[in-house]
Amino acid sequence: MKPVAIVQQVHHDTPDFFADFLTEKQIPWTLFRMDQHDPLPDNLDAFSGYCMLGGPMSVNDDDTLPWLKQEMALVQEAIRKDIPVIGHCLGGQLISKALGGKVGPVPMPEIGWSQIHMPDVADAKRWLGGESTVPLFQWHGEGFSLPEGARLIAKSPYWAHQAFVIGQKHLAMQFHCEVNAAKVRHWAVEEQSEINAVQHHESVQSSDSILASLEKSIPESNRIARHIYSEWIQGLNR
């Protein structure tokens, strides 16, 4: 089958469990690294699906970071051609903006393990399972609105728009369900100054607390991500 295109924005926000899951399912994938100036494909005809990862930049920096406009153009193409799209954090925001939504600062940044709540609707059950609340990792200071036609499937106490679906195959997420222990440990240690700067918000978990929770939280995150990704790959053109 055609590979899944994965766009990595920066060196420290890697595909991790998403790539591991695809490999386990014997689904090929191709990584495009914006931090290494890889050219994005002109179109998605050679790919079965399209994934965008996170990054510290804003989607509204698309005038100074022109590849963001290219990524959003590929989102629009994927929606037109019914090629499944999935976005993690910045990737979810890119989906929203590409489809006419807005992205801007949230009242309270979210960093650390967050309780994600699902409304009692069929889409949420399909994509996230039957649980009403699941713990997933967050690191964002901006959030997306719901573009026209989007259906909300997840929220948190601090930001209502945590995930939405478009049609039957396309998923935008504000949270990071792709994380593994190495990435979260790197962020908690190497980016501790960013955590400390917003530690006064109740929506921000301390670096020490994040690190202490890894042994318990990562397997749970992987379990939830497996459900999400298992649903997403059903739409791939095999």
Structural contact between residues 188 and 158, judged by C-beta atoms closer than 8 angstroms = no
49 bridge partner residues: 4
Structural contact between residues 62 and 46, judged by C-beta atoms closer than 8 angstroms = no
- Range of 10's domain? 4-235
Q: Is the dihedral of CA 4, 161, 143, 94 positive or negative?
A: positive
Q: Where residue 171 sits, what CATH number does that domain have?
A: 3.40.50.880
DSSP one-letter code for 70: H
At 130 the pLDDT is 83
Structure tokens at 161: 């728009």
Report the alpha-carbon distance of residue 152 to residue 160 in Å, rounded: 9
At 12 the pLDDT is 94
Q: Could you tell me the CA-to-CA distances from 152 to 83, 85, 119, 137, 192 in Å, in that order? A: 20, 16, 8, 19, 32
Report the alpha-carbon distance of residue 179 to residue 218 in Å, rounded: 8
At 238 the pLDDT is 74
- Print pLDDT tens along the chain (238 aa): 999 999 999 999 999 999 999 999 999 999 999 999 999 999 999 999 999 999 999 999 988 999 999 999 999 999 999 999 999 999 999 999 999 999 999 999 999 999 999 998 999 999 999 889 999 999 999 999 999 999 999 999 999 999 999 999 999 999 999 999 999 999 999 999 999 999 999 999 999 999 999 999 999 999 999 999 999 999 998 7
Query: How many folded domains does the chain comprise?
Result: 1
At 226 the pLDDT is 98
Report the alpha-carbon distance of residue 234 to residue 231 in Å, rounded: 6
For helices 16-24 and 214-232, angle between their N-to-C axes, nearest 10 degrees: 50
At 185 the pLDDT is 98
Structure tokens at 38: 């890889």
Structure tokens at 41: 């494909």
